[in-house]
């Protein structure tokens, strides 16, 4: 099946630094990617929709200046957590929808665990 | 708020037994449902899906049942194995259900006892 890869899988950083997480679709082109945040023992919370070649669309309550999203190609979207603080520590997951679209045909990455000290 | 919820946050079963994980949804317009498995520290993994025009679908060791009358979805896992230990999320898809179309349930942690 389709594969979505995230990198890094784990990152630890100091408060105030910025961290970039990559999401790649390895064997298909993804016109749309999604970024989620997941707290321990909680479900996934959609943060934003990343569209290739256009600005990301953020869900209500998500700071676009805090979580910068870039979708420069059909196989890569990046999430940059700017000036990270301990409360940004979380598990970040991306998903990608192929160009064929369809209902619910999302493929998820393995997730990236961010720990901000 | 979420329209999809799970009845039990934790389910413990003996290895080899069958497991049934339940999910209730409230959006009668949802027309596609998915079960995901998430192992610790990993992303969600697609297990099985079902469209609203069906009431049952079977996969390998898994069966999904959909009861649209009571807006209930269940995942049955036959002959559970240690590798089945994970959190299971149901998700519904509907137009207007979010940018990705999906609304996730809260998750059930399935624990397999040896």
Each residue's pLDDT tens digit, A4-43: 999 999 999 999 999 999 999 998 888 889 999 998 888 8
Instruction: Please answer yes or no on whether A93 and B101 come within 8 Å at the CB atom.
Output: no
Question: Number of Cβ pairs closer than 8 Å across A and B?
Answer: 59
Distance from CA of A49 to the nearest CA of B (A): 7
The rounded Cα B78 to chain-centroid distance in angstroms is 14
Judge whether A48 and A59 are in contact, CB under 8 Å.
Answer: yes
pLDDT tens, position by position, A51-95: 888 889 999 999 999 999 999 898 999 999 999 999 999 999 999
Partner residue opposite A49 with nearest CB, options B31, B32, B100? B100
pLDDT tens, position by position, B20-74: 999 998 888 888 999 999 999 999 999 999 999 999 999 999 999 999 999 999 9
The per-residue b/e assignment along B63-79, b for 16 or more CB within 10 angstroms, e otherwise, is bbbbeeeebebbbebee
Is B79 a residue whose pLDDT tops 60?
yes
Chain B residues with CB inside 8 Å of A6's CB?
43
Give pLDDT, residue A103: 53
Number of Cβ within a 10 Å radius of residue B34? 23
Taking the Cβ of residue A109 and every Cβ of chain B, the question of whether any pair is shorter than 8 Å is answered with: yes
Q: Which of residues 62-81 of A touch B (CB under 8 A)?
A: none
Number of H helices, E strands in chain A: 0, 11
B59: helix, coil or strand? coil
* Interface mutation vs chain B, best among A104, A109, A113, most B CBs within 10 Å: A104
């Amino acid at each position: 099946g389709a594969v979505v890869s995230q990198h890094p899988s784990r990152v630890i950083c100091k408060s105030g630094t910025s961290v970039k997480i990559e999401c790649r679709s390895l064997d298909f082109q993804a016109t749309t990617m999604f970024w989620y945040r997941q707290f321990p023992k909680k479900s996934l919370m959609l943060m934003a929709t990343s569209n290739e070649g256009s600005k990301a669309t953020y869900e209500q309550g998500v700071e676009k200046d805090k979580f910068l999203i870039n979708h420069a190609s059909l196989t890569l979207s990046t999430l940059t957590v700017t000036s990270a603080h301990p409360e940004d520590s979380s598990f970040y997951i991306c998903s990608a929808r192929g160009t064929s679209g369809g209902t619910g045909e999302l493929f998820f990455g393995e997730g990236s665990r961010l720990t901000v000290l | 708020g979420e329209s999809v919820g799970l009845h039990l946050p934790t389910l413990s079963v003996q290895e080899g037994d069958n497991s049934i994980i339940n999910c209730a949804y409230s959006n009668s317009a949802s027309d596609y449902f998915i079960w995901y498995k998430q192992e610790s520290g990993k992303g969600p993994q697609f297990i099985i899906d079902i469209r609203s025009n069906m009431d049952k679908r079977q996969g390998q060791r898994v069966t999904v049942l959909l009861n649209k009358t009571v807006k209930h979805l269940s995942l049955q896992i036959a002959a559970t194995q240690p590798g089945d230990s994970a959190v299971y999320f149901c998700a519904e898809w509907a137009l207007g259900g979010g940018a990705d179309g999906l609304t996730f349930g809260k998750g059930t942690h399935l624990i397999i006892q040896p």
